[in-house]
């Protein structure tokens, strides 16, 4: 059970832990402490927040941003500023995954997430950053996925911008670009059968046999452009009032690339597209599946509301 509070960090704190679940500890040098489960916990710039396997935490920053800290993650918070009314937030991610929700910030105020090989800077958006260790002989990898707004990713002297639905990997060192859906897919709203298990790879999925797969059945990172193309086409179809075509493309994305960094975004888009069909029971069932797979995901509030539309509890 997670214990949740809502609070801004104290003036002299870098961040404040407002929710935690499972094994969570705070480290400063060689000393570690386990935060109490029923109190707000301030973090200083010299402290590292660590979550164990299966554990999660939430932190509130001076800029009003919230950071969802995933399992097996190590992260530090370091605000900086000039004067009492100006704060910049810096989040240092050593390993693991965080999801960041940033409100619109005043002019001159920024939030940055820094890993060993990239700096992600935003002014108001939702995005996630993941730091993965490399396999034997490979360098560690930083992944960035954007849900809303626009972020700048800088590596060395090169800066790139990502828009909603786009992702970037330090291993590829190239951001995936938006592409328009193929002309033949713009002609109509094709019927697609309901999908019962999101994210499960399908036998004989169209065009999937020739794609390089990873050890867990996931694609090689060279597939990131294809993943983005499917997601962008689905988002555009939904905006054009063609939910079935959107669902078809999202099913293709989730079926071919179950380990995609865009999977959670695709699941939320699929929930929205199903909602447009007007079937409240199916929408509620889809929402409950999302909440089960992403209990602290960025779409939690939206999915919780949708899960009750069919008269069933989540």
Q: What is the pTM of this model?
A: 0.56
Mean model confidence pLDDT for the chain: 75
pLDDT number for residue 10: 45
Q: Are 231 and 265 in contact (CB under 8 A)?
A: yes
**pLDDT grade, residue 285 (50/70/90)?**
very high
**pLDDT grade, residue 258 (50/70/90)?**
confident
Q: Which residues contact 313 (CB under 8 A, 6 or more apart)?
A: 307
The full set of domain ranges for the chain reads 3-175, 183-205+217-307
**pLDDT grade, residue 309 (50/70/90)?**
low
User: What's the pLDDT tens digit per position in 191-214?
Assistant: 333 333 433 333 333 333 333 333
Q: What is the CATH number of domain 3-175?
A: 2.60.120.1440
For residue 59, pLDDT beyond 60: yes
pLDDT number for residue 183: 40
Nearest to 165 by CA among 68, 231, 214, 114: 231
The CA distance from 34 to 306, in Å, is: 36
Q: What is the CATH number of domain 183-205+217-307?
A: 1.25.40.10
pLDDT number for residue 166: 87
- The values of phi and psi at residue 3, to 5°, are -105, 125
For residue 128, pLDDT beyond 60: yes
Same fold, 3-175 and 183-205+217-307: no
């Amino acid at each position: 059970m997670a214990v949740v509070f809502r609070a801004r960090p104290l003036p002299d704190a870098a961040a404040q832990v407002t929710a935690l679940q499972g094994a969570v500890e705070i480290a400063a040098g060689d000393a570690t402490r386990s935060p109490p489960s029923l109190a707000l916990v301030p973090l200083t710039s010299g402290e590292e927040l660590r979550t164990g396997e299966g554990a999660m935490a939430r932190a509130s920053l001076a800029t009003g941003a919230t950071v969802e800290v995933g399992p097996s993650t190590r992260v530090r918070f370091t605000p900086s500023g000039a004067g009492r009314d100006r704060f910049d937030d810096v989040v240092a991610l050593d390993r693991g995954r965080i999801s960041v929700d940033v409100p619109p910030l005043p002019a001159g105020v920024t939030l940055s997430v820094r890993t060993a090989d990239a700096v992600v800077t935003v002014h108001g958006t939702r995005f996630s950053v993941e730091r993965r260790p490399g396999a034997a002989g490979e360098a560690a990898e930083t992944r960035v996925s954007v849900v809303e707004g626009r972020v700048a990713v800088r590596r060395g002297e090169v800066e790139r911008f990502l828009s909603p639905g786009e992702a970037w990997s330090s291993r590829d060192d190239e951001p995936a670009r938006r592409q328009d859906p193929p002309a033949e897919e713009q002609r109509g709203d094709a019927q697609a059968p309901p999908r019962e298990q999101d994210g499960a790879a399908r036998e004989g999925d169209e065009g999937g046999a020739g794609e390089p797969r990873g050890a867990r059945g996931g694609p090689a990172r060279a597939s990131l452009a294809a993943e983005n193309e499917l997601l962008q086409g689905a988002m555009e179809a939904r905006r054009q009032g063609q939910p079935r075509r959107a669902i078809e493309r999202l099913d293709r994305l989730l079926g071919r690339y179950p380990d995609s960094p865009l999977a959670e975004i695709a699941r939320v888009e699929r929930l929205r597209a199903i909602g447009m069909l007007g079937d409240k029971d199916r929408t509620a069932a889809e929402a409950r599946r999302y909440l089960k797979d992403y209990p602290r995901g960025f779409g939690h509030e939206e999915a919780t509301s949708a899960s009750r539309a069919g008269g069933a509890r989540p």
